[in-house]
């Protein structure tokens, strides 16, 4: 991502601001600050005013901020929020803020320090909405992140054998990802064996793998700031009838959901396509979560692909498609790809095969 991208994004954010009848914006989400400026530090606030952007941070990040961003940087002593509050002129200023990225305490602090005449107004997820549609450069970064993630998966498969623990395998995945160039895992790597995988977000534990057990691996990494996310299943041995049957149903649902992705459809219709298939197999009630989510600078971004979600998919949106079936005692089966919406469908960024892998 280059500096002209950031100034273009700030210009877009500013027009969106005007569209919502706001005069200024306080950006407090680190991912949105990064999106609008390139700044990757952990402490910062961005003040957007007509034709001007100012990044507030502290002395620890002064050099880094100057190197990473082309916008004006101030290294503040003391409270960033106080400095931000004083940046907005009084006299009927409608100031947008993000309720999701400001604690109640911070909100009260801000409200108590802005000049009289400044009115605080929720920004309606303005920057998050812009972030949903990725530029070609961002799509390339997502593609490279997905490729790295799949490479780490294929190398980690060699340690899957009876006796390996969930934690061993999760550590191996994280280690390989880092060696391949990831900054960090995009979320805590999920490795769950058999019955344990019936919990969709199981934490890897000390359980060791036995013959004829299912392995669920949900992994992702940040590479140059962009997240990848993939779930694959491995079977240690030769899968019996029930495993093949449930796997076949989830795969069919995943393929149907991927086929439903295209410009203009609602996010909910993708979820519906997966549910329809699972219903026909009698396992819709075991699909206990949404079908997917957006991803980019964060692992979970807008849009959400849940039941009835009305957001219209647009060309350039990056989303996951991840139906799953969770059965107590038997375990869980989920298959997840990352895709980018195109005019007539989508491009699948995840290169890993979706056949049930056996070891």
Applying CB under 5 A, which residues contact Zn ion?
218, 229, 231, 320, 336
Nearer to Zn ion, 22 or 295 (CB): 295
Q: Shortest CA distance to 231 belongs to which of 248, 243, 244, 218?
A: 218
C-beta of 52: minimal distance to Zn ion in Å?
A: 37
C-beta of 232: minimal distance to Zn ion in Å?
A: 10
Block residue for tokens 């609602």? 266
**Which of the 8 DSSP states describes residue 159?**
G
C-beta of 251: minimal distance to Zn ion in Å?
A: 16
| Three-class secondary structure of residue 323 per DSSP | coil
C-beta of 173: minimal distance to Zn ion in Å?
A: 12
Nearer to Zn ion, 213 or 336 (CB): 336
| Three-class secondary structure of residue 261 per DSSP | coil
C-beta of 233: minimal distance to Zn ion in Å?
A: 12
C-beta of 66: minimal distance to Zn ion in Å?
A: 35
Q: Which is it for the CA torsion 313, 319, 323, 328, positive or negative?
A: negative
C-beta of 26: minimal distance to Zn ion in Å?
A: 30
C-beta of 314: minimal distance to Zn ion in Å?
A: 20
The full length of the chain comes to 359
Nearer to Zn ion, 283 or 320 (CB): 320
What is the DSSP annotation of 99-129? GGGS-HHHHHHHHHHSPTTEEEEE-TTHHHH
Nearer to Zn ion, 10 or 223 (CB): 223
Q: How far is CA 263 from CA 270, 276, 312, 316, 318, in A?
A: 12, 21, 8, 9, 12
Nearer to Zn ion, 10 or 196 (CB): 196
Nearer to Zn ion, 128 or 336 (CB): 336
| Three-class secondary structure of residue 314 per DSSP | coil
Residue 17: how many CB atoms within 10 A of its CB? 21
Centroid of chain to Cα 28 = 18
What is the DSSP annotation of 1-27? --HHHHHHHHHHHHHHHHHTT-SEEEE
The tokens for 80 are: 């960033």
Nearer to Zn ion, 218 or 301 (CB): 218
Q: How wide is the angle at C-alpha 179 spanned by C-alphas 176 and 180, nearest 5°?
A: 85
Nearer to Zn ion, 275 or 334 (CB): 334
């Amino acid at each position: 991502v280059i500096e002209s991208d950031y100034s273009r994004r700030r210009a877009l954010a500013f027009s969106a601001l005007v569209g919502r009848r706001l005069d200024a914006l306080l950006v407090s989400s680190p991912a949105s600050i990064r999106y609008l400026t390139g700044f990757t530090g952990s402490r910062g606030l961005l003040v957007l005013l007509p034709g001007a952007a100012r990044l507030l941070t502290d002395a620890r990040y002064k050099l880094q901020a100057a190197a990473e961003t082309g916008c004006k940087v101030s290294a503040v002593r003391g409270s960033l929020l106080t400095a931000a509050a004083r940046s907005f002129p009084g006299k009927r200023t409608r100031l947008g803020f993000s309720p999701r990225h400001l604690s109640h305490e911070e909100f009260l602090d801000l409200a108590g320090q802005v000049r009289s005449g400044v009115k605080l107004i929720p920004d309606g997820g303005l920057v998050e909405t812009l972030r949903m549609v990725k530029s070609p450069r961002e799509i390339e970064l997502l593609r490279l992140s997905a490729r790295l993630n799949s490479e780490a998966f294929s190398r980690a498969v060699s340690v899957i054998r009876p006796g390996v623990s969930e934690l061993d395998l999760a550590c191996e995945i994280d280690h390989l990802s880092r060696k391949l160039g990831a900054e960090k895992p995009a979320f805590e790597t999920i490795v769950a064996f058999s019955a344990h995988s019936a919990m969709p977000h199981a934490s890897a534990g000390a359980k060791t793998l036995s013959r004829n057990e299912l392995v669920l691996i949900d992994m992702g990494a940040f590479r140059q700031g962009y997240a990848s996310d993939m779930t694959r299943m491995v079977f240690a041995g030769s899968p019996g009838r029930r495993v093949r049957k449930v796997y076949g149903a989830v795969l069919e649902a995943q393929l149907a959901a991927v086929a439903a992705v295209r410009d203009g459809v609602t996010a909910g219709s993708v979820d519906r396509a997966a549910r329809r298939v699972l219903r026909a197999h009698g396992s819709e009630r075991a699909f206990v979560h949404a079908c997917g989510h957006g991803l980019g600078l964060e692992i979970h971004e807008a849009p959400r692909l849940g039941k009835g979600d009305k957001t219209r998919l647009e060309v350039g949106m990056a989303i996951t498609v991840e139906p799953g079936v969770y059965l107590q005692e038997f375990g869980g089966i989920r298959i997840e790809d990352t895709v980018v919406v195109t005019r007539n469908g989508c491009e699948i960024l995840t290169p890993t095969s979706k056949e049930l892998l056996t070891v």
